[in-house]
Structure 1
Amino acid sequence: MDVRLSRRLIAELLGTAILVATVVGSGIMADRLTDDVALALLGNTLPTGAILVVLITILAPISGAHFNPAVTLVFALRRDLTAPWAAAYVAAQIAGGVFGTLVAHVMFELPIFQLSQTVRSGSAQWLAEIVATFGLVFTILAGIRARADAVPWLVGLYITAAYWFTASTSFANPAVAIARALSNTFAGIRPLDVPAFIIAELAGAALAVALASWMFAKPRGIVPKEATL
């Protein structure tokens, strides 16, 4: 489908906004409904995984449904996007994420502009973000190769799982990290901690690209059996 850049950018902005509004909003709702942190995390996890399935399914035909600068960088490295288009995608994703945070605040009658005070730092958190983003990007690349129509579900299910098996609760997205720094709620991250998260996320994405490129490369010099008959 040949879609103008403007439509692609609106899709990326809208998708990232809804994703972040879901992450932040469900975190606020869960925190208000229970004092049990594990139950609150579950209430934050399920809506996030579910909305990813919805957003990727409906917006992938327009923009590819990246909603994530790390994913956009991967597709730029694969030459599926030009550098100017990739930069525009990232700007739209960051803007959408910030807008999604502000909308969540308004919906729950909180101060619109906030800065998170939640500390998320240290080697364990950074390793968790490397693992989370590596897994996300590898899932996308492997899913496209194995069964492209299943990617929405693969991504939604992966993020649902990664909320629980990573120490960082799997941000795995620089735009989401920036947006969550502007919310002093359950899903927040202290602005000071965001740069290290972004570096870890990009490192995880790079590792996933390297492994996928090697693992899924077509063997050279092998003659198909049919060709010898």
Structure 2
Amino acid sequence: MATTVSEANARSIVYAGDLQKRSSFFQGWERARHGNLHWLAECFAEAMGVFFYVWAGVGSQAVFVIGNITKQAGLSSLFQIGFAYAAGIVLAIVICSATSGGHFNPCITIVQMLFKGFPPLKGARYIAAQILGGYIACMLVYAQYHHLLHEVQKALPPATLAAIQFTPNGPAGIFGNYLLPGSKLGLAFLNEFVADFMLAIVIFGCVDPSNVLVPPSSVPFVIGLAYAVAIWGFSANGLSANAARDLGGRFAALTIWGKDAVGPQKGYAAISALTNIPATILAAIVHEFMFVDSSRVVPQSHREFYDIHTLHRHHGPAALAVNDTHSNSSDPVKGQIGTNERV
């Protein structure tokens, strides 16, 4: 889809390099990063974004589980866990989205590939980076809490530890997603599907450029709040909400505790990891059919957001306009500028 650059913004461009000059070393690195190594920076940003989200949330879960096992009141709570994940999402979007586009979820990447022309190879890289980011975050949380977890496991009677280990209340449940004993897989699927559908509707609604009530600067907080609401209300029924969080945590649990970390509930690992894919796809379809309206006016805050990305000197669409022989103006940033999506 073509992007129109506001002429007022095109006449008053100020690049970050105009305000703060970088050393020749970092200028050379930027040239490489904008060239053949562009994929490295983008994948790093995706991994780092998921890392923020998972590290914040799993850290809070670790305190909660340890507090419950040791009967120490006041060590985290469901409210704190939801708020921690929300804060992690805010950090991810604010710090990393300008580099990669801010998917931070394999389901969002899959939707972009299916409906928005996102390159499949780039999508595969993003998904691998997202899962890696979740895995590294979980392994670091484990390293940071290793001593306490070791002491907790050593203090519990073997039978008690075995009964709770691969549940939300056990040490492994800090990292991998497990159901409470006696939970039904069908209800777990329904819970996951509905929560993921609602989260995706919020995400797509937030990034709708015609949504005047959610300017770009508010998007991280609204999406973060939506995840917090889902965790506060439905995590007790089993909730992944992000395949990168689920798979990263599951792989971490497998690394630490071996194959038993798959979990005692046969089939739940697949439900937890994969349900959010069809839920997010359905949400994208519903949003396109029922909420998108091309006749709406795009507010100035969204136009400025699009202009900033379009006018990127090296890999924004404006870079193509220099050679655009169909341009109506000698100014390379005026008129209609096509997208420049690299593999």
Q: Equivalent residues in 2 for 1:1-229 (5 A)?
A: 4-34=38-68, 35=71, 40-109=77-146, 110=149, 117-118=166-167, 119-120=178-179, 122-145=185-208, 146=211, 147=214, 148-166=216-234, 167-168=236-237, 170-181=239-250, 182-183=252-253, 190=263, 193-218=268-293
Deviation at residue 83 of structure 1 after TM alignment: 0.8
The 8 Å contact of residues 127 and 200 in structure 1, kept in 2 or not, is answered as no
The answer for the alignment partner of 2:3 in structure 1 is none
Distance 2:292 2:51 in 1: 35
- What amino acid does structure 2 have at the position aligned with 1:171? S
More helix by share: 1
| RMSD over equivalenced CA pairs, Å | 2.9
Query: Percent identity, aligned pairs only?
Result: 25
Residues 15-57 of structure 1 show CA distances to partners (whole Å, capped at 9, x for unaligned) of 1122222222111112234547996322311111112112111
Q: Alpha carbons of 1:219 and 1:179: their partners in 2 closer, same or farther (altered >3 Å)?
A: closer
Q: Alpha carbons of 1:190 and 1:19: their partners in 2 closer, same or farther (altered >3 Å)?
A: farther
Deviation at residue 168 of structure 1 after TM alignment: 3.6
The answer for the alignment partner of 2:323 in structure 1 is none
Q: Alpha carbons of 1:219 and 1:60: their partners in 2 closer, same or farther (altered >3 Å)?
A: closer
Rg comparison, structure with higher value? 2
TM-score by length of 2: 0.56
- What amino acid does structure 2 have at the position aligned with 1:79? K
Residues 102-149 of structure 1 show CA distances to partners (whole Å, capped at 9, x for unaligned) of 0000011247xxxx7124261111111111211121111111111333
- What amino acid does structure 2 have at the position aligned with 1:30? F
> Please, which runs of 5 or more residues in structure 1 have no aligned partner?
221-229
TM-score by length of 1: 0.82
